[in-house]
Structure 1
Amino acid sequence: MTTTHDHSTDYAAEHTPRMGWTKHVPEVYKAIVALEVASKKGLDPLLVELVKIRASQLNHCAFCLDMHSKDALAAGESLQRIVQLSAWEESRHFYTEKEVAAIELTEAVTVLTNGFVPDEVYEKAAKHFDEKELAQLIAVIATINVWNRFAVTTRMVPGHYTPGRHH
Protein backbone atom coordinates (compact mmCIF):
# COMPACT_ATOMS: atom_id res chain seq x y z
CA MET A 1 0.00 0.00 0.00
CA THR A 2 1.40 3.36 -0.98
CA THR A 3 0.27 6.56 0.63
CA THR A 4 1.20 10.07 -0.30
CA HIS A 5 1.23 12.99 2.05
CA ASP A 6 0.84 16.59 0.99
CA HIS A 7 2.00 18.66 3.93
CA SER A 8 2.60 21.84 1.96
CA THR A 9 -0.36 23.77 3.36
CA ASP A 10 -0.01 22.49 6.93
CA TYR A 11 3.73 23.07 6.83
CA ALA A 12 3.49 26.70 5.77
CA ALA A 13 0.91 27.51 8.42
CA GLU A 14 2.92 25.93 11.21
CA HIS A 15 6.27 27.35 10.15
CA THR A 16 6.06 31.09 9.98
CA PRO A 17 9.25 32.82 11.06
CA ARG A 18 8.97 35.19 14.00
CA MET A 19 11.43 37.62 12.46
CA GLY A 20 14.20 37.93 9.92
CA TRP A 21 16.86 38.40 12.59
CA THR A 22 19.79 38.85 10.23
CA LYS A 23 18.47 42.16 8.88
CA HIS A 24 18.01 43.53 12.41
CA VAL A 25 21.51 42.66 13.64
CA PRO A 26 23.68 42.38 10.51
CA GLU A 27 26.87 42.89 12.55
CA VAL A 28 26.01 39.86 14.71
CA TYR A 29 25.22 37.80 11.60
CA LYS A 30 28.54 38.80 9.97
CA ALA A 31 30.43 37.99 13.18
CA ILE A 32 28.87 34.52 13.37
CA VAL A 33 29.68 33.90 9.70
CA ALA A 34 33.29 34.89 10.41
CA LEU A 35 33.32 32.54 13.43
CA GLU A 36 31.86 29.81 11.22
CA VAL A 37 34.61 30.20 8.61
CA ALA A 38 37.39 30.34 11.22
CA SER A 39 36.07 27.39 13.23
CA LYS A 40 36.21 24.91 10.33
CA LYS A 41 39.81 25.54 9.24
CA GLY A 42 41.86 22.38 9.12
CA LEU A 43 38.99 20.00 9.90
CA ASP A 44 37.54 17.36 7.59
CA PRO A 45 34.44 18.95 5.97
CA LEU A 46 32.40 15.74 6.31
CA LEU A 47 33.22 15.50 10.02
CA VAL A 48 32.18 19.13 10.42
CA GLU A 49 28.82 18.42 8.78
CA LEU A 50 28.24 15.35 11.00
CA VAL A 51 28.90 17.52 14.06
CA LYS A 52 26.54 20.22 12.82
CA ILE A 53 23.81 17.70 12.06
CA ARG A 54 24.13 16.00 15.45
CA ALA A 55 24.03 19.28 17.39
CA SER A 56 21.04 20.39 15.31
CA GLN A 57 19.25 17.12 16.08
CA LEU A 58 19.82 17.64 19.80
CA ASN A 59 18.62 21.24 19.58
CA HIS A 60 15.61 20.31 17.41
CA CYS A 61 16.70 22.85 14.80
CA ALA A 62 14.83 21.93 11.63
CA PHE A 63 16.35 24.77 9.61
CA CYS A 64 19.94 23.72 10.36
CA LEU A 65 19.10 20.02 9.91
CA ASP A 66 17.80 20.79 6.44
CA MET A 67 20.84 22.92 5.62
CA HIS A 68 23.56 20.64 6.93
CA SER A 69 22.02 17.42 5.64
CA LYS A 70 21.98 18.98 2.18
CA ASP A 71 25.52 20.32 2.60
CA ALA A 72 26.73 16.90 3.78
CA LEU A 73 25.15 15.15 0.80
CA ALA A 74 26.62 17.75 -1.57
CA ALA A 75 30.05 17.16 0.01
CA GLY A 76 29.79 13.41 -0.60
CA GLU A 77 28.39 12.11 2.69
CA SER A 78 26.14 9.06 2.42
CA LEU A 79 22.44 9.27 3.12
CA GLN A 80 22.75 6.20 5.34
CA ARG A 81 25.28 7.84 7.67
CA ILE A 82 23.18 11.01 7.90
CA VAL A 83 20.02 9.05 8.71
CA GLN A 84 21.79 6.83 11.26
CA LEU A 85 23.35 9.78 13.07
CA SER A 86 20.33 10.22 15.34
CA ALA A 87 20.93 6.65 16.56
CA TRP A 88 24.73 6.66 16.29
CA GLU A 89 25.22 4.71 19.53
CA GLU A 90 23.44 1.73 17.97
CA SER A 91 25.05 2.41 14.60
CA ARG A 92 28.69 2.94 15.60
CA HIS A 93 29.89 0.70 12.79
CA PHE A 94 28.95 3.43 10.28
CA TYR A 95 31.45 5.87 11.84
CA THR A 96 35.17 5.92 12.54
CA GLU A 97 36.46 6.09 16.11
CA LYS A 98 37.48 9.70 15.45
CA GLU A 99 33.97 10.56 14.25
CA VAL A 100 32.41 8.87 17.29
CA ALA A 101 34.71 10.89 19.56
CA ALA A 102 33.61 14.09 17.78
CA ILE A 103 29.93 13.11 18.01
CA GLU A 104 30.27 12.33 21.73
CA LEU A 105 31.99 15.66 22.33
CA THR A 106 29.26 17.41 20.33
CA GLU A 107 26.61 15.90 22.58
CA ALA A 108 28.48 16.81 25.77
CA VAL A 109 29.10 20.42 24.69
CA THR A 110 25.58 20.88 23.29
CA VAL A 111 23.72 19.42 26.27
CA LEU A 112 25.68 20.96 29.14
CA THR A 113 22.94 20.10 31.63
CA ASN A 114 23.95 16.43 31.45
CA GLY A 115 26.94 16.95 33.75
CA PHE A 116 28.99 19.33 31.66
CA VAL A 117 31.70 17.78 29.49
CA PRO A 118 32.86 14.58 31.19
CA ASP A 119 36.61 13.98 31.41
CA GLU A 120 36.34 10.66 29.56
CA VAL A 121 34.54 12.30 26.62
CA TYR A 122 37.10 15.09 26.41
CA GLU A 123 40.04 12.67 26.77
CA LYS A 124 38.64 10.39 24.07
CA ALA A 125 38.40 13.35 21.68
CA ALA A 126 41.91 14.46 22.67
CA LYS A 127 43.24 11.04 21.57
CA HIS A 128 41.89 11.59 18.04
CA PHE A 129 42.51 15.32 17.57
CA ASP A 130 45.65 17.31 18.29
CA GLU A 131 45.15 20.39 20.47
CA LYS A 132 44.66 22.77 17.53
CA GLU A 133 42.14 20.42 15.88
CA LEU A 134 40.36 19.91 19.20
CA ALA A 135 40.10 23.67 19.72
CA GLN A 136 38.75 23.97 16.14
CA LEU A 137 36.23 21.19 16.83
CA ILE A 138 35.01 22.89 20.01
CA ALA A 139 34.66 26.11 17.99
CA VAL A 140 32.57 24.29 15.35
CA ILE A 141 30.32 22.83 18.06
CA ALA A 142 29.92 26.21 19.77
CA THR A 143 29.19 27.92 16.45
CA ILE A 144 26.48 25.49 15.33
CA ASN A 145 24.88 25.91 18.73
CA VAL A 146 24.78 29.69 18.16
CA TRP A 147 23.17 29.19 14.75
CA ASN A 148 20.68 26.67 16.23
CA ARG A 149 19.62 29.08 18.95
CA PHE A 150 18.91 31.88 16.48
CA ALA A 151 17.11 29.56 14.06
CA VAL A 152 14.97 27.85 16.71
CA THR A 153 14.11 31.05 18.58
CA THR A 154 13.14 32.98 15.45
CA ARG A 155 11.51 29.91 13.85
CA MET A 156 13.51 30.01 10.65
CA VAL A 157 11.70 27.98 7.99
CA PRO A 158 13.46 24.83 6.74
CA GLY A 159 13.21 23.46 3.24
CA HIS A 160 14.39 26.34 1.09
CA TYR A 161 18.17 26.01 1.47
CA THR A 162 20.38 25.28 -1.51
CA PRO A 163 23.86 23.82 -0.81
CA GLY A 164 26.73 26.21 -1.27
CA ARG A 165 25.00 29.19 0.29
CA HIS A 166 25.83 30.56 3.73
CA HIS A 167 23.34 30.82 6.58
Structure 2
Amino acid sequence: MTTTAVNDTKNEYAPEHAPRMGFADAAPEFYQAMFRLERAAAKDIDPTLYHLIKIRASQVNHCAFCIDMHTKDALAEGETVERIVQLPAWRESRHFYTEREAAALELTESVTVLTEGFVPDEVYARTAEHFDETELARVIGAIVTINAWNRIAVTTRMVPGHYTPGMYKK
Protein backbone atom coordinates (compact mmCIF):
# COMPACT_ATOMS: atom_id res chain seq x y z
CA MET A 1 0.00 0.00 0.00
CA THR A 2 1.37 3.38 -0.99
CA THR A 3 1.22 6.30 1.44
CA THR A 4 0.25 9.61 -0.09
CA ALA A 5 1.51 13.03 0.92
CA VAL A 6 -1.92 13.77 2.40
CA ASN A 7 -1.66 10.79 4.75
CA ASP A 8 1.88 11.76 5.72
CA THR A 9 0.67 15.25 6.64
CA LYS A 10 -2.06 13.79 8.84
CA ASN A 11 0.55 11.86 10.80
CA GLU A 12 2.86 14.79 11.47
CA TYR A 13 2.99 16.44 14.86
CA ALA A 14 1.82 20.01 15.27
CA PRO A 15 4.60 22.59 15.12
CA GLU A 16 6.26 23.55 18.37
CA HIS A 17 5.18 26.93 19.73
CA ALA A 18 7.70 29.59 20.63
CA PRO A 19 7.99 30.90 24.18
CA ARG A 20 6.59 34.37 24.77
CA MET A 21 9.68 35.50 26.64
CA GLY A 22 12.82 34.30 28.31
CA PHE A 23 11.66 34.95 31.88
CA ALA A 24 14.99 34.04 33.49
CA ASP A 25 16.79 36.63 31.34
CA ALA A 26 14.08 39.28 31.73
CA ALA A 27 13.85 39.00 35.54
CA PRO A 28 17.05 37.30 36.75
CA GLU A 29 16.77 38.39 40.39
CA PHE A 30 13.22 37.10 40.65
CA TYR A 31 14.14 33.89 38.87
CA GLN A 32 17.04 33.25 41.26
CA ALA A 33 14.75 34.00 44.20
CA MET A 34 12.36 31.35 42.85
CA PHE A 35 15.22 28.86 42.72
CA ARG A 36 16.07 29.64 46.34
CA LEU A 37 12.39 29.16 47.23
CA GLU A 38 12.43 25.85 45.35
CA ARG A 39 15.47 24.62 47.30
CA ALA A 40 13.86 25.68 50.59
CA ALA A 41 10.59 23.95 49.68
CA ALA A 42 12.37 20.72 48.73
CA LYS A 43 14.48 20.59 51.89
CA ASP A 44 13.63 17.68 54.18
CA ILE A 45 10.57 16.53 52.21
CA ASP A 46 10.36 13.03 50.80
CA PRO A 47 11.47 13.32 47.13
CA THR A 48 8.83 10.84 45.96
CA LEU A 49 6.07 12.87 47.58
CA TYR A 50 7.58 16.11 46.29
CA HIS A 51 7.50 14.82 42.70
CA LEU A 52 3.88 13.67 43.04
CA ILE A 53 2.88 17.12 44.34
CA LYS A 54 4.71 18.88 41.51
CA ILE A 55 3.30 16.65 38.79
CA ARG A 56 -0.28 16.77 40.09
CA ALA A 57 -0.37 20.57 40.52
CA SER A 58 1.14 20.94 37.06
CA GLN A 59 -1.55 18.67 35.60
CA VAL A 60 -4.32 20.69 37.28
CA ASN A 61 -2.74 23.93 36.01
CA HIS A 62 -2.25 22.51 32.48
CA CYS A 63 1.44 23.36 32.65
CA ALA A 64 2.97 21.21 29.93
CA PHE A 65 6.53 22.38 30.62
CA CYS A 66 6.35 21.47 34.32
CA ILE A 67 4.59 18.16 33.62
CA ASP A 68 7.42 17.28 31.24
CA MET A 69 10.13 18.35 33.69
CA HIS A 70 8.79 16.81 36.86
CA THR A 71 7.70 13.56 35.22
CA LYS A 72 11.18 13.10 33.76
CA ASP A 73 12.81 13.90 37.11
CA ALA A 74 10.48 11.50 38.95
CA LEU A 75 11.17 8.68 36.49
CA ALA A 76 14.93 9.31 36.69
CA GLU A 77 14.71 9.03 40.48
CA GLY A 78 12.84 5.72 40.38
CA GLU A 79 9.15 6.61 40.25
CA THR A 80 7.07 4.14 38.25
CA VAL A 81 5.35 4.91 34.98
CA GLU A 82 2.20 3.31 36.36
CA ARG A 83 1.91 5.73 39.29
CA ILE A 84 2.55 8.73 37.06
CA VAL A 85 0.01 7.57 34.48
CA GLN A 86 -2.60 7.02 37.21
CA LEU A 87 -1.97 10.38 38.91
CA PRO A 88 -4.78 12.33 37.15
CA ALA A 89 -7.20 9.68 38.45
CA TRP A 90 -5.55 9.07 41.82
CA ARG A 91 -8.88 8.92 43.65
CA GLU A 92 -10.03 6.03 41.48
CA SER A 93 -6.64 4.33 41.70
CA ARG A 94 -5.82 4.98 45.37
CA HIS A 95 -4.23 1.57 45.70
CA PHE A 96 -1.19 2.96 43.86
CA TYR A 97 -0.57 5.57 46.59
CA THR A 98 0.03 5.59 50.31
CA GLU A 99 -2.48 7.29 52.61
CA ARG A 100 0.08 10.11 53.16
CA GLU A 101 0.47 10.58 49.40
CA ALA A 102 -3.31 10.59 48.86
CA ALA A 103 -3.76 13.19 51.61
CA ALA A 104 -1.03 15.37 50.10
CA LEU A 105 -2.57 15.02 46.63
CA GLU A 106 -5.98 16.08 47.95
CA LEU A 107 -4.42 19.11 49.62
CA THR A 108 -2.45 19.86 46.44
CA GLU A 109 -5.65 20.01 44.42
CA SER A 110 -7.43 22.14 47.03
CA VAL A 111 -4.61 24.69 47.27
CA THR A 112 -4.09 24.72 43.50
CA VAL A 113 -7.71 25.29 42.50
CA LEU A 114 -9.16 27.38 45.37
CA THR A 115 -12.52 27.49 43.56
CA GLU A 116 -14.35 27.95 46.84
CA GLY A 117 -11.91 30.64 47.91
CA PHE A 118 -10.40 28.50 50.68
CA VAL A 119 -9.02 25.06 51.49
CA PRO A 120 -11.84 23.06 53.12
CA ASP A 121 -11.30 22.27 56.80
CA GLU A 122 -11.90 18.56 56.20
CA VAL A 123 -9.17 18.41 53.52
CA TYR A 124 -6.71 20.16 55.81
CA ALA A 125 -7.67 17.91 58.74
CA ARG A 126 -7.25 14.73 56.67
CA THR A 127 -3.81 15.86 55.58
CA ALA A 128 -2.84 16.87 59.13
CA GLU A 129 -3.62 13.31 60.26
CA HIS A 130 -0.68 12.07 58.17
CA PHE A 131 1.90 14.80 58.74
CA ASP A 132 3.22 16.55 61.81
CA GLU A 133 3.12 20.36 61.73
CA THR A 134 6.64 20.74 60.30
CA GLU A 135 6.01 18.13 57.60
CA LEU A 136 2.67 19.73 56.75
CA ALA A 137 4.35 23.13 56.43
CA ARG A 138 6.82 21.56 53.97
CA VAL A 139 3.99 20.02 51.95
CA ILE A 140 2.23 23.41 51.79
CA GLY A 141 5.52 25.05 50.77
CA ALA A 142 5.95 22.51 47.97
CA ILE A 143 2.41 23.13 46.72
CA VAL A 144 2.81 26.92 46.79
CA THR A 145 6.16 26.78 45.01
CA ILE A 146 5.03 24.56 42.14
CA ASN A 147 1.94 26.70 41.65
CA ALA A 148 4.18 29.77 41.30
CA TRP A 149 6.41 27.97 38.79
CA ASN A 150 3.32 26.78 36.87
CA ARG A 151 2.04 30.32 36.55
CA ILE A 152 5.39 31.55 35.25
CA ALA A 153 5.70 28.70 32.74
CA VAL A 154 2.11 28.90 31.49
CA THR A 155 2.15 32.69 31.17
CA THR A 156 5.46 32.78 29.30
CA ARG A 157 4.59 29.62 27.31
CA MET A 158 7.73 27.70 28.22
CA VAL A 159 8.15 24.90 25.67
CA PRO A 160 7.95 21.29 26.89
CA GLY A 161 9.99 18.45 25.47
CA HIS A 162 13.56 19.72 25.78
CA TYR A 163 14.16 19.12 29.47
CA THR A 164 16.59 16.45 30.64
CA PRO A 165 16.47 15.16 34.24
CA GLY A 166 18.36 17.32 36.69
CA MET A 167 18.91 20.08 34.13
CA TYR A 168 18.05 22.91 36.54
CA LYS A 169 19.58 21.52 39.72
CA LYS A 170 22.19 23.83 41.15
TM above 0.5, yes or no, is yes
| 1:76 counterpart (54, 70, 78) | 78
Are residue 11 (structure 1) and residue 15 (structure 2) matched? yes
Q: Which amino acid aligns with 1:119?
A: D
Match of 1:46 in 2: 48
TM-score (norm 2): 0.91
Deviation of 1:111 after TM superposition, in Å, equals 0.5
1:131-142 → structure 2 map (5 Å cutoff): 131-142=133-144
SS across alignment from 2:115: helix
Secondary structure, counterpart of 1:128 in structure 2 = coil
Matched letter for residue 137 of structure 1 = V
Say whether the 8 Å CA contact 1:52–1:68 is kept in structure 2. yes
Is contact 1:108-1:114 (8 Å) kept?
no
User: So what's the TM-score if we normalise by structure 1?
Assistant: 0.92
Structure of larger gyration radius: 2
Match for 1:96 among 98, 101, 105?
A: 98
SS of 1:6 mapped into structure 2: coil
**1:70/1:163 contact within 8 Å kept:** yes
For the pair 1:146 / 2:152, whether they are aligned, the reply is: no
Q: CA deviation at 1:116?
A: 1.6
RMSD over aligned Cα atoms: 1.5
Aligned partner of residue 114 in structure 1, secondary structure: coil
User: What displacement does 1:114 show?
Assistant: 3.4
- What's 2:3 paired with? none
Distance 1:160 1:124 in 2: 38
Equivalent of 1:33 in 32, 35, 46: 35
More helix by share: 1
Q: Which of structure 1's runs of 4+ aligned residues deviate more than 2 A?
A: none
Contact 1:98 1:125 in 2 (8 A): yes
* CA displacement at 1:11 relative to structure 2: 3.1
Measured after TM superposition, the shift of residue 152 of structure 1 is: 0.2
- The unaligned stretches of length 5 or more in structure 1 are none
1:4-63, Cα deviation, whole Å (9 max, x unpaired)? 9431xx231xx2110011101001100010000001111110110000000000000000
Q: Give percent identity, aligned residues only.
A: 65
Gaps of 5+ in 2: 1-7
* Cα distance between partner residues in 2 of 1:98 and 1:69: 20
CA distance in 2, matches of 1:154, 1:131: 35
Size of the alignment, in residue pairs? 161
Matched-pair contact (CA < 8 Å) for 1:73–1:79: yes
CA–CA separation in structure 1 for the residues paired with 2:40 and 2:147: 15
Aligned equivalent of 2:115: 113
Q: Higher mean Cα deviation, 156-165 or 107-116?
A: 107-116
